[in-house]
Amino acid sequence: MVFSKAKDVHVWDPEGRKYLDFLSAYSAVNQAIIISCCGCFHGRTTAVISMSCDNEATRGFGPFLPGLLKVDFGDADSLKTMFEAIGDKVAGFLFEPIQGEAGVIVPPKGYLQSVRELCSKYNVLMIADEIQTGIGRTGKLLACEWESVRPDVVILGKALGGGVLPVSAVLADKDIMLCIKPGEHGSTFGGNPLASAVAIAALEIVEEEKLAERAAEMGQVFRSQFLDIQKAYPHIIKEVRGQGLLNAVELNAKGLSTVSAFDICQSLKERGVLAKPTHGTIIRFSPPLTIRLKDLTEASKAFKDVLEHDLANMQRQSEGNDPHSPPEPCDRCGRIK
């Protein structure tokens, strides 16, 4: 049985039912805690939505799982403080090496190394969600390799299937994996031979065609081109950031006026470029690792043309609208993103 809280002689389960505790003399309660980062995105199932700071994802959904705490992404000192206080109760620290859904948030240099040292010191599993950052996307096979860090557990998906089949995997050494005994865990499609063959082929292609190295090179070109555009439109482009071919352009709400990042993406679509908006003022650019220089140049030209030729007209058409309402505090942690 799982308990969410206890007081005096009573305990409560996650559904809120209250019990008299007559097990206290000989029963141990599992108090293991998982820590994740504010702004994280790890999927849409119950456990990871319980970690989410996205009010749209959590409102009207539940009940949420207990034992999940938050820490600011990129802040190793806060993580250290939390470990010092409750490290003996923490089972794992789950994080993205670069936060994708939050808007391609790149942590400060040295952050991953600090996390590795802290997790080792306090015997906490370092769990890297590389579903968006892995398989060459950031210029390394795994994004953690940028700081020569080896997590205890790595979660993979998306690119692992090479665009052919949905494939996901969890990687860990045997001293972790073999904690799960035969029969204790099951999966309907686990070990699917076709999916496994596709994943192996995808990894072979990434290695043989040096796609990670290509992503690093093309990513530098992308950011250079968009930084040049930022110099021409500093009142509109707030920041260009990313690693490899996982990049984002953050726009100034004031410069956009009545236009949103979604509107910019719609205009880009009309010019033949597909990109994804997030959080009102951020556009994410994550092209195939096989993209060529001429394709990047075409995309950057399209973006510049949107700012130069389309933006003013969009502002006139949307006059009176206000797509940039003040951000709400997170229902879970109270922070304002």
Active site residue ranges: 41, 129, 158
Long-range contacts of 205-211 (CB under 8 A, 24+ apart): 205/162, 206/135, 206/136, 206/141, 206/289, 209/290, 211/136, 211/289, 211/290
Strands in 246-251's sheet, in edge-to-edge order, are: 237-243, 246-251, 282-285, 276-278
Show Cβ contacts of residue 197 under 8 Å, excluding neighbours closer than 6 positions. Answer: none
Mode of pairing for the β-strands spanning 90-95 and 33-37 = parallel
Residue among 137, 46, 45 at smallest CA distance from 96? 137
Which helix or strand (DSSP H or E) is residue 282 part of?
Answer: strand 282-285
Q: Please, what's the b/e burial string for 129-141 (b: 16 or more CB within 10 A of its CB; e: otherwise)?
A: bbbbbbbbbbbbb
Outline where the chain has alpha helix (H).
46-49, 55-58, 76-86, 111-121, 174-177, 193-208, 211-232, 253-256, 261-270, 293-305, 311-317
The two tokens of residue 206 are 């990434």
Residue among 168, 108, 100, 103 at smallest CA distance from 138? 100
Torsion angle of C-alpha atoms 160, 241, 285, 250, degrees rounded to 10: 140
For 127, phi and psi rounded to 5 degrees? -115, 110
